[in-house]
């Protein structure tokens, strides 16, 4: 009798333990996502690095009150700059907080990383030649006129990152941005430029720290933002948003045979509920899941413009079914049960 009751008790506890450890495999879009310590994941406008069998998610660590500056003539809501946060995961679902890997610089009001400035869309890539982890981010002056890229380096994916400074790549404005490393090890920065009207692709030097001077202007006058780039079967793809501040609009997919272009917009890949508003979210990155055939996760931010810290995430598998590229809405999905052919 005693033995049976202990066994029953153990059975009752089993699902609770299962939720508490790293066994969760389900993505629920738009909910608060918790890290392995039970705190909300704070990594907005982010990107992923896959290195030595682990995923690292870097993003804007938005903490505290959202404000609209007194001078604002548009909805430039922001929080004080806190820094770039990093989370690690073995499986793209269970995330452990690794800390603020590039912190704000509180004691120097003229520094790019002072809390009064703006720091957005950090992306980290690994340079196999130098052995360095290189971060690119959009840095802004408090009045949003700087439109520059800030670069930082580290010897470890979990930092600390050393800030090297900022500049306008190829003397052009640089706002929403991402960095993409091609199979041959060459890296490129994609950035909304010319007052967000034209998207620049800037080839980077071998150490990934500066532009080489070679660049192309894409989607001229078309106001594409939030570029998220991936490569599949030798072709290049880019998801981007329109330009409506923090408010959602419809996404576009673009394709190219060569990374520097020409790029061709081929239509909105989103399907299902609220597809015309990108599921009330905005693209930030696309990450392949290693060991899973054709599984590419499109990452979006569901901004809460008046409470930015409380913005949420929408992650969706890209579908390559029957040769057609779509991003169907799914409220929940399991990483174990899905592939790009779903």
Q: Which residue, among 214, 125, 211, has the nearest Cα to 174 in the 3D structure? A: 211
Q: Which of residues 115-174 bind ligand DGJ (CB under 6 A)?
A: 120-121
Q: Which of 30, 90, 213, 245 binds ligand DGJ (CB under 6 A)?
A: 245
Give least dist CB 10 to ligand DGJ, A.
49
The contacts of residue 332 (CB under 8 Å, 6+ apart) are 26, 27, 28, 29
Q: What residue is closest to ligand DGJ based on CB?
A: 245
Give the dihedral sign, CA 123/189/294/284: positive
Count CB neighbours of 66 within 10 A: 17
The contacts of residue 142 (CB under 8 Å, 6+ apart) are 69, 116, 117, 118
DSSP letter (8 states) at residue 40: B
Binding status of residue 246 toward ligand DGJ by CB under 6 A: yes
Binding status of residue 69 toward ligand DGJ by CB under 6 A: no
Give least dist CB 222 to ligand DGJ, A.
15
Report how far residue 133's alpha carbon sits from residue 126's, in angstroms, rounded to the nearest whole number: 5
Considering only the C-alpha atoms of the chain, give the largest distance between any 2 of them, rounded to a whole number of Å.
Answer: 79
Binding status of residue 252 toward ligand DGJ by CB under 6 A: no
Q: Which of residues 189-228 bind ligand DGJ (CB under 6 A)?
A: 225-226
Q: Which of 80, 176, 203, 252 binds ligand DGJ (CB under 6 A)?
A: 176
Q: Which residue, among 144, 23, 40, 28, has the nearest Cα to 87 in the 3D structure? A: 40
Contact 105, 123 (CB under 8 A): no
Strand 177-181 with 162-167, pairing: unpaired
Give the total of residues touching ligand DGJ (CB under 6 A): 10
Give least dist CB 26 to ligand DGJ, A.
28
Give least dist CB 290 to ligand DGJ, A.
28
Q: Nearer Cβ to ligand DGJ, position 132 or 224? A: 224
Report how far residue 110's alpha carbon sits from residue 80's, in angstroms, rounded to the nearest whole number: 14
Give least dist CB 282 to ligand DGJ, A.
6
Give least dist CB 182 to ligand DGJ, A.
24
CA-to-CA dists, residue 130 to 52, 136, 161, angstroms: 16, 16, 15
Q: Which of residues 104-123 bind ligand DGJ (CB under 6 A)?
A: 120-121
Report how far residue 207's alpha carbon sits from residue 20's, in angstroms, rounded to the nearest whole number: 41
Binding status of residue 46 toward ligand DGJ by CB under 6 A: no
Give least dist CB 33 to ligand DGJ, A.
19
Q: Which of residues 270-309 bind ligand DGJ (CB under 6 A)?
A: 282
Give least dist CB 64 to ligand DGJ, A.
17
Q: Nearer Cβ to ligand DGJ, position 127 or 282? A: 282
Q: Nearer Cβ to ligand DGJ, position 88 or 283? A: 283
Binding status of residue 45 toward ligand DGJ by CB under 6 A: yes
What SS3 class is residue 139? Answer: strand
Question: Where on the chain is the footprint of ligand DGJ (CB under 6 A)?
Answer: 45, 76, 120-121, 176, 225-226, 245-246, 282
């Amino acid at each position: 009798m005693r033995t049976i009751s202990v066994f029953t008790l153990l059975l009752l506890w089993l699902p609770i333990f299962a939720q508490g450890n790293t066994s969760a495999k389900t993505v629920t879009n738009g909910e608060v996502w918790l890290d392995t310590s039970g705190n909300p994941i704070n990594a907005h406008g982010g990107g992923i690095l896959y290195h030595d069998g682990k995923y690292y998610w870097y993003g804007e660590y938005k903490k505290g009150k959202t404000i609209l500056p007194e001078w604002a003539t548009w909805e430039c809501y922001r929080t004080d700059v806190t820094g770039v946060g990093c989370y690690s995961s073995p499986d793209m679902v269970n995330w452990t907080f690794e800390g603020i890997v590039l912190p704000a610089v509180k004691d120097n009001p003229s520094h790019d990383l002072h809390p009064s400035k703006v720091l957005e869309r950090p992306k980290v890539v690994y340079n196999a030649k130098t052995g360095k982890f290189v971060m690119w981010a959009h840095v802004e002056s408090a009045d949003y006129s700087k439109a520059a890229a800030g670069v930082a380096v580290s010897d470890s994916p979990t930092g600390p990152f050393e800030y090297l400074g900022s500049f306008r790549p190829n003397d052009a404005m640089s706002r929403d941005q991402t960095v993409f490393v091609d199979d041959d090890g060459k890296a490129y920065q994609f950035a909304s430029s010319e007052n967000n009207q034209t998207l620049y692709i800037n080839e980077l030097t071998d150490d990934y720290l500066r532009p080489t001077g070679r660049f192309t202007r894409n989607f001229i006058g078309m106001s594409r933002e939030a570029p998220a780039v991936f490569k599949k079967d030798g072709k290049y793809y880019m998801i981007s948003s329109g330009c409506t501040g923090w408010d959602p609009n419809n996404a576009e997919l673009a394709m190219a045979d060569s990374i520097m272009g020409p790029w061709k917009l081929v239509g909105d890949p989103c399907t299902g509920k609220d597809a015309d508003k990108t599921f009330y979210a905005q693209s930030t990155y696309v990450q392949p899941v290693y060991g899973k055939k054709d599984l590419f996760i499109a990452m979006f931010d569901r901004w809460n413009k008046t409470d930015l810290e409380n913005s949420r995430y929408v992650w969706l598998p890209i579908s390559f079914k029957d040769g057609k590229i779509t991003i169907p809405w799914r409220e929940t999905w399991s990483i174990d049960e899905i592939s790009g052919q779903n």
